[in-house]
Amino acid sequence: MNLIQNLNDDIQSHHRQGHNLLEMISDLSDEEVDVFTSNDISDLKTEAEGLGLRYQRVAESSNHLHNKANVSLEELKKYKDEMVPFGEYE
């Protein structure tokens, strides 16, 4: 459970860095920079959008996994608590 929590926390901690990178690419493409061609800027935008989508999917998947793990842990605790009366009954 701690591993899943650490993974989820790690993904969330990188959110700001990823978002800043996407903003920098957007700003770069908005400015007319003589160093890059329009194809280069278009490629950067496309890659940035893809990166943003992949990050979003990873964040959603890790949250989903974390929630499932929490629910499973609660179910296990419930079953463990239910086993105590059965053990005493025997």
- Residue 69's domain comprises 2-89
Which pLDDT tens digit goes with each residue over 15-45?
Answer: 777 778 778 877 776 676 667 777 887 888 8
Helices (H), the chain: 2-13, 15-30, 38-89
Instruction: For Cα atoms 2, 56, 33, give the angle at the middle one, nearest 5 degrees.
Output: 130
Tokens for 70, please give them: 């929490």
What is the pLDDT at residue 28? 75
Mean pLDDT of the chain: 81
pLDDT at residue 74 above 90?
yes
Domain count, the chain: 1
